[in-house]
A and B are shown apart, each in its own frame.
Chain A
Amino acid sequence: MTKGIAKENQIVDKVKEVIGKSVLEIEIPRPRRIFILIDKKAFGKATHYLTKKMRFSHVSTITGVDVGKEIEVIYHLNRGGTIELSLKVRVAKDKPVLPTIIDLIPGATLYEREVHDLLGVTFEGHPDLSPIILPEGWPPDVYPLRKEWTLKKVQKRIMKGGKQ
């Protein structure tokens, strides 16, 4: 569908200008929605450009997805309430590390902590990655949204007593 996505195309072109070959995949499924997968090495440059130069200064949330050997971290950035640009970057599951973006957008703080809790991604430079979503006493090696931690496996590990 190409109707009415001129602005979105412009944005993607600008990002390509700045980080070139590090843009791996682009999807513009409809007006006001952009999905860009980038190479991790361009992460700092891309986030700085989008948040400071292109005014994508609102982070709606950050999603972590287990995609097998890697964890895909998606930054859902918004400009002026309208265009939602989902910036995706993948990190190795055995060493999932990304720099924090709270120096660019302080409001990202709890979202990074949430991805840390549920998928074990470390955000370098974040002053406090203590549990925010998971309850007190949760075993630190259990990342419930990783595929290898099936529902049954998580349940068995954390529940004591009760019907289940």
Chain B
Amino acid sequence: MSYPTIRIPFGPQHPFHIEPEYFMFEVDGERVVSVKPRIGYVHRGIEKAIEDRTFIQNLYLIERICGICSHAHTTCYTQAIEEILGVEIPPRARFIRTIIAELERIHNHYLWLGLAAHEIGFETLFMYTWRDREIVMDLLELLSGNRVHYAMNTLGGVRRDITPEIVEKIRKGLDALEERMRYYKKIAMTEPTISKRANGIGILKPKDALALCAVGPTLRASGIKRDVRADDPYIAYSEIPFNVITYDRCDVISRLFVRCDEVFESVNIIRYAMEHLPEGKIRIKVPRRVPEGEAVSRVEAPRGELIHYAKTNGTTKPERYKVRSPTLGNIPSLCKMLVGGYIADIPIVIAGIDPCFSCTDRMAFVNVNNNKQWILSGEELRRYAIKWYRKE
């Protein structure tokens, strides 16, 4: 017995839905009944490749696991190997790593704000936030020589130093970034477009967030005060005062406010770090061969807890290297948030966890009542959602 299937030829690529992905939704009318994720689309075989490269070569590969959290990945990596080597990097290097990490966080949150705005059709906000994001990209380029993939970390410390002139430029940039984010936060609090699409949407209760092992702003927007920088301090975080931001409405708007406030915290962390930047070397020499050992390294990437596990065998290459990105940690929670919600909420709820794969380009739907099946591109679903909410 065959059921009629309606296939909308899935859209080709839209620039805003950059990474190919796959979700399968079962729906009943406008409601999502179940979600099945399949993330094999982006599999590159990195963990296997890491075993085939030296520790220095792996710096360049691991940096490119993700173009937006690249410093978080190399910080996590260098920390793991430095721990096995039993070396302590110089204090100045720890502070510089922290400054870059927080600039990366500011960059990520601005980028996210723009993409989330685009998701709900708020094009002006997207353009504004991405224009302001250029401020932090300029600072990162000034510090590292590149706008993306800063390659600042190396085994034993960092590769480039910060001069007083750069410190001055960063100060000015931070003032602007802080002021702009105050403005955007105000918009988020008062714009009816945003509140209609994000208030009370994508609920994740604290109990579920914990049971499903959510991480990062997604977890903190359900009121759980967890942040690797505070709980399991690394680089310079144990020496710099800052607040862990939580909101307790458990919805998309909470996730937005957590990120806004985290930008303010990042600005303060960088200011403090620059004020208290220790003198001295920025790196120490480490041997090419790493003794047998293992380490677990954790970092609060912009999207949440990032964890690497390293196992070494006395050679110049790792025995085993495991990477778990924060997005994978949030997928079970994402599925929970989507079930029971409207189809029109799918784009913003997915965007709400700030996924490292972008809102998918391929989403399959099955109606549980009549088994009709169809596929929508991310762009088609986005437009459907905007239209649906205009009617509401």
Q: Answer yes or no: A47 CB below 8 A from chain B CBs.
A: no
Interchain pairs with CB closer than 8 A, number: 100
- Shortest CB-to-CB span from B300 to chain A, Å, is 10
What residues on A are CB-neighbors of B230 within 8 Å?
81
- Shortest CB-to-CB span from A139 to chain B, Å, is 13
* Residues of A within 8 A of B (CB-CB), count: 41
- Known A134-B40, A145-B47, A145-B48: A61·B210 in contact at CB below 8 Å: no
Q: Answer yes or no: A60 CB below 8 A from chain B CBs.
A: yes
Within 8 A of B (CB), among A84-143: 84, 86, 105-111, 114, 118, 131-136, 138
Q: Answer yes or no: B295 CB below 8 A from chain A CBs.
A: yes
What residues on B are CB-neighbors of A59 within 8 Å?
213
Contact: B307 with A76, CB < 8 Å? Answer: yes
Identify whether the interface residues of A are mostly helix, strand, loop, or mixed. mixed
Contact: B213 with A131, CB < 8 Å? Answer: no
Contact: B213 with A107, CB < 8 Å? Answer: yes
Contact: B39 with A105, CB < 8 Å? Answer: no
Within 8 A of A (CB), among B15-65: 37-41, 43, 45, 47-49, 52
What residues on B are CB-neighbors of A33 within 8 Å?
295-296
Contact of A131 among B38, B307, B329 (CB under 8 A): B38
Closest-by-CB residue of B relative to A80 is B231
What residues on A are CB-neighbors of B322 within 8 Å?
61, 63
Q: Answer yes or no: A29 CB below 8 A from chain B CBs.
A: yes
Contact: B40 with A81, CB < 8 Å? Answer: no
Q: How far is the CA of A80 from the CA of B210 in the complex (A)?
A: 10
Q: How far is the CA of A17 from the CA of B320 in the complex (A)?
A: 31
- Shortest CB-to-CB span from B52 to chain A, Å, is 6
- Shortest CB-to-CB span from A135 to chain B, Å, is 4
What residues on B are CB-neighbors of A136 within 8 Å?
38, 40
Q: How far is the CA of A134 from the CA of B48 in the complex (A)?
A: 13
- Shortest CB-to-CB span from A1 to chain B, Å, is 10
Q: Answer yes or no: B227 CB below 8 A from chain A CBs.
A: yes
Contact: B298 with A154, CB < 8 Å? Answer: no
What residues on A are CB-neighbors of B45 within 8 Å?
144, 154
- Shortest CB-to-CB span from A52 to chain B, Å, is 12
Q: Answer yes or no: B94 CB below 8 A from chain A CBs.
A: no
Q: Answer yes or no: B211 CB below 8 A from chain A CBs.
A: yes
- Shortest CB-to-CB span from A155 to chain B, Å, is 9
Q: How far is the CA of A136 from the CA of B227 in the complex (A)?
A: 35
Identify whether the interface residues of B are mostly helix, strand, loop, or mixed. mixed
Q: How far is the CA of A154 from the CA of B320 in the complex (A)?
A: 17
What residues on A are CB-neighbors of B48 within 8 Å?
144-145, 151, 154
Q: How far is the CA of A146 from the CA of B150 in the complex (A)?
A: 33
- Shortest CB-to-CB span from A4 to chain B, Å, is 12
Contact: B40 with A151, CB < 8 Å? Answer: no
Contact of B309 among A30, A76, A108, A154 (CB under 8 A): A76
Q: How far is the CA of A65 from the CA of B311 in the complex (A)?
A: 9
Contact: B49 with A151, CB < 8 Å? Answer: yes
- Known A61-B322, A144-B48: A109·B40 in contact at CB below 8 Å: no
- Shortest CB-to-CB span from B9 to chain A, Å, is 19
- Known A58-B213, A133-B39: A65·B231 in contact at CB below 8 Å: no
Q: How far is the CA of A33 from the CA of B294 in the complex (A)?
A: 11
- Shortest CB-to-CB span from A69 to chain B, Å, is 16
Contact: B296 with A76, CB < 8 Å? Answer: yes
Within 8 A of A (CB), among B306-346: 307, 309, 311, 319-320, 322, 324, 328-329, 331-333
What residues on A are CB-neighbors of B296 within 8 Å?
33, 76, 84, 86
Q: Answer yes or no: B83 CB below 8 A from chain A CBs.
A: yes
Q: How far is the CA of A35 from the CA of B310 in the complex (A)?
A: 13
Q: How far is the CA of A74 from the CA of B210 in the complex (A)?
A: 20
Write the A2-46 contact mask toward B (1 if CB under 8 angstroms, else 0): 000000000000000000000000010110110100000000000
Q: Answer yes or no: B212 CB below 8 A from chain A CBs.
A: yes
18 examples of A-B residue contacts, CB within 8 angstroms: A27-B294, A29-B293, A60-B307, A60-B329, A65-B319, A66-B320, A80-B231, A81-B230, A81-B231, A107-B212, A107-B213, A109-B332, A135-B40, A135-B43, A136-B40, A138-B40, A144-B45, A145-B47
A residues near B, CB below 8 A? 27, 29-30, 32-33, 35, 57-61, 63, 65-66, 74, 76, 80-82, 84, 86, 105-111, 114, 118, 131-136, 138, 144-145, 151, 154
Given contacts A61-B322, A65-B311, 13 further A-B contacts (CB under 8 A): A58-B213, A60-B213, A60-B298, A60-B329, A81-B230, A84-B232, A84-B298, A107-B214, A107-B329, A131-B38, A132-B39, A134-B43, A154-B45
